[in-house]
Amino acid sequence: MDAEREALQSTAYSEVQTFCQKHGLMFEVVDLRWGIRNIEATDHLTTELCLEEVDRCWKTSIGPAFVEKCADPCPGQ
């Protein structure tokens, strides 16, 4: 997942940012898993924290657009 996150940060985000600026839009990246601490994950608060962030995005955006990347680690890979 880190390689995918780094690739998005180093290339795709700047291109999307440029596109949005040309069209008078603001682009903001919200990574729902970035910054989740071990204690929050251990206490099973991850889902609640992510849903709160999605709610915040809905309230502060003129229209949401989500890109989701899912990964399920494969044993031995």
Tokens 């994950």 belong to residue: 41
What is the C-alpha separation between 50 and 58, in angstroms, rounded?
A: 12
User: Could you report the per-residue pLDDT of 3-58, keeping only the tens digit for each?
Assistant: 777 888 888 888 989 998 999 988 888 777 666 666 555 666 777 877 888 888 88
User: Given this model, what pLDDT does residue 65 score?
Assistant: 66
User: Given this model, what pLDDT does residue 11 score?
Assistant: 85
Which of 61, 21, 64 minimizes the C-alpha distance to 13? Answer: 21
40: which 2 tokens?
């929050």
Name the residue ranges covered by the structural domains of the chain.
1-29, 31-62
What is the C-alpha separation between 57 and 47, in angstroms, rounded?
A: 15
**Stated pTM of the model:** 0.54
CA angle 54, 59, 23 (to 5 degrees): 95
